[in-house]
Structure 1
Amino acid sequence: MILVTGATGILGRVIVLELLKRGKKVRATKRESSNIDEVLESYRFYTDQADHFFSQIEWINVDFQDLESLENALLGVTDVYHCAAHVSFHPNDRRAMYHTNIEGTRRLLNACESSTVQKFCFVSSTAVLDGVDEKGEVTEDSNYNPKLDHSPYARSKHFSEMEVWRASAEGLNTVIINPGVIIGSGNWQSSSGEIFGAFSKYPYAMSGSTAYVDVRDVAQISISLMEKNIFGERYIVISETKKILKVANFVRKKLGKSEAKVLSKSILNIGYILNILLGWLIPGLRMLSKVNLETVTSNPVISNNKIRQELDYQFIPVFESLDFHLKNYILDHHKL
């Protein structure tokens, strides 16, 4: 039996589907309030046997703060894909991210100690990587630098990784993946699923670049690493780094919108000053933090050489991925 946490999320649902396609038995965690019908609808974008595969999922409500709940979820489980996380770059969500991402991961790993679990795949983020190599590229050796300023999300993922490395040192077979922005279908109102709606709504974009990856690639790579028993390593999982403006305009053109314009640094600096002065009064301004603005105006070069060489893997190009999932978005939002 394989356990996938965060199975209603943009990535977890696809890992579940890919495992089912391979004939695996899958138990999928969700919250009591989760809408699993939406997961079924999104499966229609990925397979013509959506109902067949969906009916094979063993859904289980899990409270990550309750050890007994976690122990029940792990009964008979040998492999765990830990996708559950709170993703946000708003400072107001700091406590929720620490609670879910760090404490939730720690409790899950503690529950694994007295279970039948043998393998553990942890989904982290490129947000935890700092520094570049001699080529000026971010690699798996670009270790988190605690002296630098980080978003609460990046900090929560770093400390979650520390829990995974601790479990690895204690004997659990673990592997960590660090994906960029995941492009997928469904879950349109949450996490990276919001990108199409955001690019459609706002006629402007930031001047920086972001690393993107198709959800199908992330799922395939995660499963391949576990099946090949590749442990004690981390892997950056991205397809390509693209200018945010180019991605925004690709999406906006497909949606019949005007071209987006780049927000100048002077405007962003004004926003940063307003955040300092009025962020306490207007919560939305707190998104204009120094670290967030640096993220969306920087142009990092992130290497995927390690995973490509390890698995001889070819990624779906970013604009091909965007085209596929944007068509699905349009089908689900036919009123656009």
Structure 2
Amino acid sequence: MILVTGGTGLVGSFLLVELGRRGLPVRAIYRGQTPPVSAKTQPVEWIPGDLRDGLGLRAALEDVTHVFHCAGLVSYAPQDEEDLLRVNVEGTANVVDACLERPGIRLGYVSSVAALGGGAAAAQRELPTTEPLRIDEQGQWDLGAEHSAYATSKYLAELEVWRGVSEGLRAVVVNPSVVLGPADWHRSSTRLFRYAYDEHRFYTPSSLNLVDVRDVAEMLAQLTLDTDNNGERYVLNAGHWPLAEVLDLMASGFGKRPPSVAVPAWAAETIWRLEHVRSLLTGARPLITKDTARAGRRPLAYQTNKICQELGRGFRPLPETIRWCCQELAKQ
């Protein structure tokens, strides 16, 4: 029996598809009044639960051999800092503790490249170069650098997994970059597609590291189910691209006009400050934050030699991923 947290999220939902393809019995935790219904997977045993409910997690682990912890909160809004710690850090600690009480369980945890550190300190230095800073699984978290609340929460959550490993838990960790897939227009990375679809004119001269959600789900399943690797982390990233090129491909996939006006750094700095004031006055989520305004200024390129050598496969090309996403989103 496989237990999946975050089965209604982007990575979790495609992981359910992959597990269904393998014909494995799956139990998934959901929040809300009614269990989700999906035509993409074989029947899933949906059970109500919450990551902060330690007793509920222990009950959900009955007869379970593998746990995929995909649940998490992604936000760069300042008002979500406490929720990030509760969901990402406390929730992961509860999952680890519940697994430790059942010796033999194997855990696959979905972290983020944000937890690797390395880039934060470099981004804050004056480095007059366009050559990307290359980061792999050996990236070290810089305690003296300024990190986003999201990155900090994923770093601390990973520490909980490593604590579990030191106490006997068998676990592997994947660190995906920005995950692309057809999902809710208003959530996570799918908002990039909505931005291109709405034909906005502006873009920032920054860059992104991106990966196909299908690759993340397949590689996570392979590492957790098909290998005995333990205490290892793996960067999942299909490549590093300028934001302008990414938005152009997305707009083209919808038959829309791509953004054409680059926003200089000084303007982005002004906008996020105005948005911060607006959010304080109205309580609304800021459209752009300090972290998103500054993201990608210092090019980072996440290296994937380890996972490619381990599994003997590469990643889907970005143009293919974007075409697939646009086609699926258009159906919605």
Cα contact 2:5–2:68 (8 A) shared by 1: yes
Cα contact 1:75–1:116 (8 A) shared by 2: no
| Alpha-carbon distance in structure 1 between the residues aligned to 2:262 and 2:18 | 38
| Alpha-carbon distance in structure 2 between the residues aligned to 1:188 and 1:28 | 23
Amino acid across the alignment from 1:245: A
For residue 165 of structure 2, the aligned residue among 162, 165, 168 is 168
Counterpart in 2 of 1:237?
236
| Alpha-carbon distance in structure 1 between the residues aligned to 2:53 and 2:275 | 37
Amino acid across the alignment from 1:16: L
Q: Which moved more, 1:284-293 or 1:237-246?
A: 284-293
What displacement does 1:189 show?
3.0
Cα contact 1:177–1:222 (8 A) shared by 2: yes
1:59 paired to 2:58: no
In structure 2, the residue corresponding to 1:268 is in which secondary structure? helix
For residue 91 of structure 1, the aligned residue among 33, 54, 78 is 78
For residue 221 of structure 2, the aligned residue among 206, 220, 223 is 223
Gaps in structure 1 of 5+ consecutive residues = 44-52
Counterpart in 1 of 2:195?
198
| Alpha-carbon distance in structure 2 between the residues aligned to 1:325 and 1:289 | 26
Counterpart in 2 of 1:327?
327
Distance 1:235 1:162, change over 3 A: same
1:144-170 Cα offsets, whole Å, 9 max, x none, are 212111111111100000000000000
TM alignment of 1:8-27, pairs within 5 A: 8-27=8-27
Counterpart in 1 of 2:127?
none
1:141 paired to 2:138: yes
Cα contact 1:91–1:287 (8 A) shared by 2: no
| Alpha-carbon distance in structure 2 between the residues aligned to 1:288 and 1:6 | 26
When the two structures are aligned, how many residues end up with a matched partner?
Answer: 319
Gaps in structure 2 of 5+ consecutive residues = 123-131
Q: Which moved more, 1:147-156 or 1:298-307?
A: 298-307
In structure 2, the residue corresponding to 1:63 is in which secondary structure? coil
**Normalising to structure 1: TM-score of the pair?**
0.88
Identical pairs, percent: 31
1:108 paired to 2:66: no
For residue 184 of structure 2, the aligned residue among 161, 169, 187 is 187
What displacement does 1:284 show?
5.9
Amino acid across the alignment from 2:162: W
What displacement does 1:192 show?
2.2
Cα contact 1:175–1:232 (8 A) shared by 2: yes
Cα contact 2:35–2:46 (8 A) shared by 1: no
What displacement does 1:32 show?
2.2
Counterpart in 2 of 1:155?
152
In structure 2, the residue corresponding to 1:29 is in which secondary structure? strand
1:175-212 Cα offsets, whole Å, 9 max, x none, are 11000111112333322233211332333222111111
Distance 1:215 1:288, change over 3 A: closer
In structure 1, the residue corresponding to 2:174 is in which secondary structure? strand
1:271 paired to 2:258: no
Amino acid across the alignment from 1:188: W
Counterpart in 2 of 1:49?
none
What displacement does 1:266 show?
2.3
| Alpha-carbon distance in structure 2 between the residues aligned to 1:33 and 1:326 | 31
Q: Which moved more, 1:275-284 or 1:247-256?
A: 275-284
